[in-house]
């Protein structure tokens, strides 16, 4: 429970900050350009921290890294507030520095939390624990913006920033120590060598390489369609944000349903089932071709939500059970680095591709890619069970 609370607090803080900054931009305290640069700076901090945190977690244990990442996230908030309160170039620099720092905290805690779960939970309960953590992610993505919006409207943006800082402190101090007292390798190398050890470890597991490549492609294509093209389609179909809201809600409801299902369901062919679930995201772009009948995209987003958790929960469980403990955080950092780090490339290319080839062509090709790539991954040895021992 303490682990879940800490992870939930970090998730709430992560989802709340962009929303608060958006509200600040609406008030005119910061420009839309500053907002975009701040969010980009946060992503830079995240990408820097993820691989380093994987190395340091394997060196020193996940509890220390969770503690440090929580304090780093908390410290970033006064820096951001100082940047918003000041004037001129110095204030803008402070704002960007604060955004980078909070990205460092967010990036550092991800592989650390993943490595901490098997130190707290027994093997028999790992899948249920990962499902509970996934439920936390889905709930916080909805509750975070809603809660911080209420706090901002009732007490002002200052109270919202204080709340985010407190959430980071909760993430730092609440999680317990694991059963494993030390995960430090006897041989220490430089940072690049230790990162390459993770790459070599990943290559020992063909199912991991295939699954990660598939997840990265689905995020860079299917998710980018959702983020970039759905707002315009919603405006065209409903004259506003109604379709966008309905599909986002359907996806979250589906993801919650999938996570709850994953707490109990343990299919024999775990890997193939997970990849089949991931392929359901291909229905999303294809359904948008018939967006005038809103039932089709709503149903597609719901099924995609179910499918993403049917993939996520077995995926994280397999990583935790198949990767040696002293390399787990570094391999997990590869997961976050590639699957989420390459997503901005898809976001940046989606609009130019739609302008060049047409929106429908992009929707069809994205749907086909998301549907077929998981099937190709199923052909990779060891992907059937996400295990090299079966």
pLDDT at 188: 57
Tell me how many degrees the CA angle 307-313-315 measures, rounded to the nearest 5: 95
pLDDT tens digit sequence for 57-76: 998 899 999 999 999 999 99
CA distance 207 to 382: 5
Cα distances from 118 to residues 32, 53, 221, in angstroms, run 42, 17, 32
pLDDT at residue 347 greater than cutoff 80? no
Query: What is the DSSP secondary structure assignment for residue 1, as one 8-state letter?
Result: -
CATH of domain 192-379: 1.20.1250.20
pLDDT at residue 340 greater than cutoff 80? no
pLDDT at 152: 85
First to last CA, the chain: 32
Exposed, middle or buried by CB within 10 Å (0-12, 13-18, 19+), for 389? exposed
Cα distances from 190 to residues 55, 152, 193, in angstroms, run 10, 45, 5
Cα distances from 154 to residues 25, 58, 151, 157, 165, in angstroms, run 18, 43, 5, 9, 18
pLDDT at residue 180 greater than cutoff 60? no
- The residues of the chain that CATH labels 1.20.1250.20 are 1-178, 192-379
| Helix residue ranges per DSSP H, the chain | 2-27, 32-60, 62-85, 88-120, 126-155, 157-173, 191-203, 206-218, 224-228, 230-238, 242-262, 270-279, 283-287, 295-322, 328-341, 343-357, 359-377
- pLDDT category, 182, cuts 50, 70, 90? very low
Average pLDDT over every residue of 208-218: 95
Q: Quick one: what percent of the chain has pLDDT higher than 70?
A: 96
Average pLDDT over every residue of 228-234: 85
Q: Check: CB of residue 100 under 8 Å from CB of residue 44.
A: yes
Least trusted range by pLDDT, from 27-31, 36-40, 127-131, 363-367: 27-31
pLDDT at residue 208 greater than cutoff 90? yes
CA distance 363 to 21: 31
CA distance 80 to 71: 15
pLDDT at 217: 93
- pLDDT category, 343, cuts 50, 70, 90? low
Average pLDDT over every residue of 193-218: 93
Least trusted range by pLDDT, from 77-81, 178-182, 207-211, 325-329: 178-182
pLDDT at 383: 96
- pLDDT category, 242, cuts 50, 70, 90? confident
Average pLDDT over every residue of 77-85: 93
CATH of domain 1-178: 1.20.1250.20
Count how many Cα atoms sit within 13 Å of the Cα of residue 141 in the half-sphere of its side chain.
Answer: 13
What is the CB neighbour count within 10 angstroms for residue 268?
Answer: 9
Q: Check: CB of residue 271 under 8 Å from CB of residue 317.
A: no
pLDDT at residue 248 greater than cutoff 90? no
Least trusted range by pLDDT, from 53-57, 179-183, 236-240: 179-183
pLDDT at 179: 66
Q: Check: CB of residue 129 under 8 Å from CB of residue 82.
A: no
Average pLDDT over every residue of 276-300: 96
Average pLDDT over every residue of 128-135: 92
Joined together, the tokens standing for residue 176 give 């317990």
Count how many Cα atoms sit within 13 Å of the Cα of residue 55 in the half-sphere of its side chain.
Answer: 16
pTM above 0.75, yes or no: yes
Count how many Cα atoms sit within 13 Å of the Cα of residue 383 in the half-sphere of its side chain.
Answer: 23
Average pLDDT over every residue of 88-92: 80
- pLDDT category, 107, cuts 50, 70, 90? very high
CA distance 145 to 278: 26
pLDDT at 181: 45
């Amino acid at each position: 429970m303490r682990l879940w609370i800490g992870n939930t607090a970090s998730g709430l803080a992560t989802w709340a900050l962009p929303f608060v900054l958006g509200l600040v931009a609406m008030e005119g305290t910061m420009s839309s350009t500053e907002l975009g640069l701040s969010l980009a700076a946060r992503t830079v901090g995240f990408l820097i921290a993820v691989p380093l945190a994987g190395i340091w977690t394997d060196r020193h244990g996940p509890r220390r890294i969770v503690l440090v990442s929580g304090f780093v996230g908390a410290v970033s908030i006064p820096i951001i507030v100082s940047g918003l309160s000041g004037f001129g170039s110095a204030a803008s620099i402070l704002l960007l520095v604060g955004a980078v720092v909070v990205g460092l905290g967010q990036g550092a805690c991800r592989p650390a939390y993943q490595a901490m779960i098997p130190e707290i939970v027994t093997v028999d309960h790992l899948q249920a624990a990962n499902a509970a953590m996934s439920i936390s992610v889905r709930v916080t993505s909805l509750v975070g913006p809603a809660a911080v919006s209420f706090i901002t409207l009732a007490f002002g943006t200052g109270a919202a920033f204080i709340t985010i800082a407190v959430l980071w402190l909760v993430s730092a101090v609440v999680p317990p120590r694991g059963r494993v007292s030390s995960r430090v390798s006897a041989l220490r190398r430089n940072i690049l060598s230790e990162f390459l050890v993770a790459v070599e470890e990943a290559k020992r597991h063909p199912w991991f390489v295939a699954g990660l490549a598939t997840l990265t492609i689905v995020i860079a294509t299917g998710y980018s369609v959702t983020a970039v093209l759905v707002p315009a389609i919603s405006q065209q179909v409903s004259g506003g944000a109604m379709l966008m809201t309905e599909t986002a809600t359907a996806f979250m409801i589906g993801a919650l349903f999938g996570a709850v299902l994953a707490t109990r369901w343990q299919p024999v062919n775990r890997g193939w089932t997970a990849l089949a679930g991931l392929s359901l995201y291909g229905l999303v772009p294809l359904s948008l071709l018939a967006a005038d009948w809103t039932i089709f995209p709503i149903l597609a987003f719901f099924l995609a939500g179910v499918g993403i958790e049917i993939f996520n929960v077995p995926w994280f469980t397999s990583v935790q059970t198949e990767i040696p403990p002293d390399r787990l955080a570094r391999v997990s950092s590869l997961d976050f680095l590639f699957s989420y780090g390459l997503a901005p490339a898809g976001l940046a290319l989606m609009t130019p591709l739609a302008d060049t080839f047409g929106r429908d062509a992009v929707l069809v090709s994205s749907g086909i890619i998301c549907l077929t790539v998981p099937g190709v991954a199923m052909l990779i040895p060891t992907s059937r069970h996400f295990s090299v021992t079966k």
